[in-house]
Amino acid sequence: MNAAEPTAGPMRVQGACHCRAVRLTAEVQLSRVFVCHCTDCQVLTGSAFRVVVPVVPGSLQVQGAVKGYPRTADSGNVRWQYFCPECGTPMYAGTPDGAGLATVRVGVLQERALLQPTAQLWRRSALPWVNVMDGVPACEQQELLG
Ligand SMILES: [Zn+2]
Ligand SMILES: [Zn+2]
């Protein structure tokens, strides 16, 4: 496989939390990158939406101790949200035995600029201003903060 053509087949990604106590690697498909607008994701990220990428089953490898928080969906399914206990960075979701689908938070990955979303989930709870960013005054750094 040609590394210069990441659209062909699974791509290897790597990431770390903000304090770098937790690191992970996985294989992902560029054709499956999801934005989730559900209200749980808004609260758990402290932001407008979450961006996740499912990993190829069995490919997720984590170094460092993570802490898990069980989230029970409306369906009754429980998914564990894993984060760094030192800095709080959300890292991935899955099951304690590793058997269920694991999804990694795109923001922790070095390759995040390549992981363009391919679908939006739970659009019905999307924040009403989520599409207006192009019209909001912008600056290269934080000149507008003052
Ligand atoms: Zn950390
Ligand atoms: Zn969600």
Neighbours of ion ligand 2 (CB under 5 A): 36, 38, 41
b/e code 30-39 from CB counts within 10 Å (16+ = b): bebbbbbbbe
Ligand nearest to the CA of 83: 1
Tell how far the Cα of 2 is from the centroid of ligand 2, in angstroms: 33
Q: What is the pLDDT of residue 1?
A: 47
11 contact partners, CB below 8 Å, separation of at least 6: 27, 28, 29, 30, 111, 114
Tell how far the Cα of 17 is from the centroid of ligand 1, in angstroms: 5
Tell how far the Cα of 112 is from the centroid of ligand 2, in angstroms: 18
Separation of first and last alpha carbons in the chain:
49
Domains of the chain: 11-126 (2.170.150.70)
Ligand nearest to the CA of 17: 1
Q: What is the pLDDT of residue 96?
A: 85
Q: What is the pLDDT of residue 5?
A: 53
Tell how far the Cα of 64 is from the centroid of ligand 1, in angstroms: 9
Place of tokens 């760094």: 84
Ligand nearest to the CA of 64: 1
Tell how far the Cα of 137 is from the centroid of ligand 2, in angstroms: 28
- Output the six-digit token pair for 96: 């304690």
Task: Categorise residue 47: left if φ over 0, alpha if ψ from -120 to 50, beta otherwise.
Answer: beta
Ligand nearest to the CA of 20: 1
The whole-number mean pLDDT for each consecutive block of 10 residues of the chain, a chain of 146 residues, reads 61 98 97 96 95 96 96 87 97 88 97 97 96 91 92
Closest by CA to 64, choosing from 38, 87, 41, is 87
